[in-house]
Chains A and B, each alone.
Chain A
Amino acid sequence: EAGVAQSPRYKIIEKRQSVAFWCNPISGHATLYWYQQILGQGPKLLIQFQNNGVVDDSQLPKDRFSAERLKGVDSTLKIQPAKLEDSAVYLCASSPLGSSGANVLTFGAGSRLTVL
């Protein structure tokens, strides 16, 4: 089966500019996640969608980050305006998790953001 697709793979912007990342999960996967991974650290959950509803966005900096999942499939993550500390890899993952069962995630390759 096709994996989780993410684009762009790399993006360099200046601070205060905006950027958007796109994710296409595995077909049929109900749950979609965006993680932020700063160099040398583990991934930190930004937002979790169940179909097209938000399950958890407690760690999303809502003053500058936004995310949506259109029709319960593709998702976009936007940062506006970007800060230097937003430099990280943004990982999208999906899982077939429904109301029960183990949530084994399949990750995309990530989008590496550098803010100058």
Chain B
Amino acid sequence: SQQGEEDPQALSIQEGENATMNCSYKTSINNLQWYRQNSGRGLVHLILIRSNEREKHSGRLRVTLDTSKKSSSLLITASRAADTASYFCAKTSGSARQLTFGSGTQLTVLP
């Protein structure tokens, strides 16, 4: 089963604007990751945040984690048309460190 959901399911913005996607989960995690999937392609890892971290940056990406609310957010600043893709959060949990994906947010950046 998929643990947690992304919100919103779809997001459409203009180039240069910021995009924020949220992810909620239900059980405790080891870490949380964000992946991007371009249409017809496999997933590409973007960023990982550990359960004892609250914020992480990588280029134009900023991820926050609130373990008390069991939620995470991904912020993409100064978006570009090339950022158009589906974004998935993935939770690692369990002794075998299974990676469970959410349902994704479809981001469209209009030029």
Contact A91 B96 (CB under 8 A): no
Instruction: Tell me which residues from 59 to 86 in chain B have a Cβ below 8 Å from any Cβ of chain A.
Output: none
List the A residue with the shortest CB-CB distance to B45. A104
Contact B100 A105 (CB under 8 A): no
Q: Does B103 contact A (CB under 8 A)?
A: yes
* Given A104-B33, A104-B48, residue A44 in contact with residue B101 (CB < 8 A): yes
Residues on A with C-beta less than 8 A from B96 are 48, 50, 55-56
Residues on A with C-beta less than 8 A from B92 are 102-103
Instruction: Tell me which residues from 31 to 72 in chain A have a Cβ below 8 Å from any Cβ of chain B.
Output: 33, 35, 41-45, 48, 50, 55-56, 59
Contact B48 A43 (CB under 8 A): no
Q: Mark A1-44, 1 if CB is under 8 A from B, else 0.
A: 00010000000000000000000000000000101000001111
Contact B101 A42 (CB under 8 A): yes
Contact A45 B98 (CB under 8 A): yes
Residues on B with C-beta less than 8 A from A114 are none
Report Cα–Cα, A55/B99, bound state, in Å: 12
Q: Does A106 contact B (CB under 8 A)?
A: yes
